[in-house]
């Protein structure tokens, strides 16, 4: 019975992630831990399952013209840069993870996500100038969060792209591309360092989450950019608040 619940949560989390560019690891990882799974079971399982869903999301969003990921396109260049910066961030995160108090990291992620969500909502009708430097910095921070907690990547990268002037629909596809690279590198580091992988949990997450991808891509295709940006901002506010509340109640 518990695995049916996990399958349902994974499907919903991936629907949010592929539709809004965030929510899979950020929502799924803490839920699994609350259900009794060890964090060292959860994080690698989330990383490898999200690798599969991100690949599926890239294909779906590209086919539905939400993003152009052909080599040489502007979207492909942005995604490649984010992915490269994310490799650096995720390697650093795994190396320093054991030295950072969990509550400090959680407060940091919650506060940053909440602040970026507020700013996204504030700038909905205000044009933003695109900046590569902003994207690079946000990608480093986001991949650092991903490697340690299994979540926190999408909200930062999505928010960072929109604050840098990127169209919200393009940002969803670009986030999936860059996050796939981050998940692969993070998972391989956990594997190389000798962590035992819960393949049963991983398999359930992969099968359940991949099914949500085409549904989410179709939702993005049929949703106007302005409302979608508002949904992203609201979700970031909620995720940030829930993260901070979790720390306060710990």
Domain boundaries, the chain: 2-249
Beta-carbon contacts of residue 56 (< 8 Å; ≥ 6 apart)? 18, 210, 213, 214
What phi-psi label fits residue 166: left (phi over 0), alpha (psi between -120 and 50 degrees) or beta? beta
Alpha-carbon gap, residue 211 to 10, rounded angstroms: 10
Least confident piece of the model among 193-197, 199-203, 232-236, 246-250? 246-250
Q: What is the pLDDT of residues 136-147, one digit of tens each?
A: 777 777 777 777
What per-residue confidence (pLDDT) applies to 100? 67
Residue pLDDT, tens place only, 46-70: 889 989 988 988 888 888 887 888 8
Mean pLDDT lowest among 68-72, 124-128, 150-154, 171-175: 124-128
Question: pLDDT tens, 78-137?
Answer: 888 888 877 887 777 766 665 667 677 667 767 877 876 777 677 666 666 666 777 777
Could you give the dihedral angle defined by the CA atoms of residues 21, 25, 26 and 27, in that order, rounded to the nearest 10 degrees?
100
Helix, strand, or coil (residue 167): coil
Measured CA to CA, the distance from residue 17 to residue 25 in angstroms comes to 9
Question: Residue 193 has what DSSP assignment?
Answer: T
Rounded Cα distance, 97 and 99, in Å: 5
152: left (phi over 0), alpha (psi -120 to 50) or beta: left
Both tokens assigned to 119? 């700013």
Is the pTM of the predicted complex or chain greater than 0.75? no
């Amino acid at each position: 019975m518990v695995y049916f619940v996990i399958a349902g949560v994974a499907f919903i989390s991936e629907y949010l992630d592929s539709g809004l560019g965030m929510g899979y690891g950020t929502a799924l990882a803490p839920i699994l831990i609350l259900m009794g799974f060890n964090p060292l079971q959860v994080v690698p399982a989330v990383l490898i399952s999200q690798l599969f869903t991100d690949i599926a999301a890239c294909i779906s969003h590209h086919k539905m013209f939400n993003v152009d990921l052909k080599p040489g396109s502007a979207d492909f260049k942005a995604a490649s840069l984010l992915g490269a910066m994310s490799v650096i961030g995720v390697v650093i995160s795994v190396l320093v993870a054991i030295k950072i108090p969990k509550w400090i990291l959680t407060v940091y992620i919650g506060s940053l996500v909440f602040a970026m969500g507020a700013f996204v909502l504030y700038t909905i009708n205000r044009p933003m100038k695109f900046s590569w430097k902003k994207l690079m910095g946000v990608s480093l921070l986001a991949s650092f969060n991903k490697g340690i907690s299994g979540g926190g990547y999408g909200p930062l990268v999505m928010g960072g792209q929109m604050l840098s002037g990127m169209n919200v629909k393009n940002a969803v596809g670009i986030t999936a591309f860059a996050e796939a690279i981050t998940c692969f590198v993070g998972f391989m580091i956990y594997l190389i360092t000798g962590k035992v992988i819960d393949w049963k949990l991983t398999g359930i997450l992969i099968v359940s989450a991949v099914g949500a991808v085409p549904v989410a891509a179709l939702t993005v295709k049929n949703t106007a950019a302005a409302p979608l940006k508002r949904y992203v901002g609201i979700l970031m506010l909620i995720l940030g608040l829930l993260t901070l509340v979790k720390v306060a109640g710990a």
